[in-house]
Every structure is written in C-alpha cells, then in structure tokens.
Amino acid sequence: MLSAKRFIPISESVLAVAAKLAERSGIPLRDFIESVLAEVLKAMQFRSNVIEVISLSDLLDDLRRVGGVVVPKDFIYKFLESMDDELFSELIDEVRKIASWYGTLVKVKRGPDVETLRLVLNVWLPDMNVSIVRSGSSVRLIASASKQPMRATELAGVIVEELCKSLDLKVKDLIIEKGIIKVEIEGPAGEVSGE
C-alpha cells in the first residue's frame, strides 16, 4: 500500500502556472493539482498519449469558439450534395475565413508545424483519416475518407489549404480527389515548419 504522503519535486515555473490557475479557479493549490492529475490519469486509461488528448481537447474548444460544430456526417454529406452552386460557394468563402482565423490562432498557441496541422485536421475533419509521410526534404500529408462525397472533400481541401497558409507551411502540391486530399509540404523531413 502506498503511503498517504509523497514528496515529488516540481519545477518553480510549473508551480507558478498551477498556482495562477488554481487561484483563478478559486481552488487551493493542492486540490487543484490533485484534480488535474486525477483527470489526466482517467484520460490515460483510454488513450495513453495524454499530451495528444490534452491538445485535442484544447483544439476542439478553439474550433467551437470560432463557430465550428459537430453534426452527423451523413446529414452533412446529404446537405452539401443538395446545395445549389451559389450557396456552396458562399459556404466555401465562410469556411476559408474560419480556417484562416483558426489556423492563425493555432499557430500562435502551438507553433507552425506539420504535427500541429495533423492534430487540427483530426479535430476538424473527424470523418477523415489523417496521416503524415516523411520523405527527404518534404512531407506528405494524406487525408482520406472512403465514403466521402466530392463536395465534402472539396470543403475539406479548402480547410487544409487555408490552414497550411495560416501555419506558414509551404505547399508544394495539393491534390483533391473524391475522398482523398494529398498535400506535399516543403521543408526538412524531421519537423517541417514555416520560416
């Protein structure tokens, strides 16, 4: 059985941030740290990469703030296919604006790199499988959804394109086909980032 008290060294900078957050929440520091740790451990029972869980949560919250919503994909697919061309163009323009603004927010909070782009796309485009393939001095990002109609893929392509611009990622090539988006981004293969 573990003893009731353990002393674990924590850096002053981490404690300072925790103290500010605890004060803002109106919770004693010890209770705040214990509740944060308890929530992290709960999340880790289902997903071992707690950093990604926290990142996805923050990204989803930011997306919600800019007006993004989660709606059943089959309904969205039908709705997109039933739109006339003029209304679809209006939607593309609105999505372009939101993606640009959201990309800028994400860049400020997390930095401009391909891994950030992948996380954002996993949140914003939950119906797509997003993967990164590194090769030489470039990186390919591939987003795919086997049953996605063309209009949904076009919309997703606009999101990808605008996010890349906002994250200062240099797009060498962008290919959009029904259910598939392929983006080749220039830069070092280890960590492609904007300059």
Angle 18-20-26 (CA atoms, 0-180°, nearest 5)? Answer: 100
Residues 173 and 48: their CA atoms lie apart, in Å, by: 34
Using pLDDT thresholds of 50, 70 and 90, give the confidence band for residue 194.
Answer: very low
Using pLDDT thresholds of 50, 70 and 90, give the confidence band for residue 67.
Answer: low
CATH of domain 70-186: 3.30.980
Q: Which residues contact 137 (CB under 8 A, 6 or more apart)?
A: 186, 187, 188, 189
Residue scoring higher pLDDT (35 or 82)? 82
Phi, psi of 135 (to 5 degrees): -155, 115
Q: pLDDT digit string (tens) for 72-114?
A: 788 889 999 999 999 999 999 999 999 999 999 889 988 888 9
Q: Output the six-digit token pair for 134.
A: 């590194």
Please report, for the chain, the start and end positions of each structural domain, with discontinuous segments joined by +: 13-46, 70-186
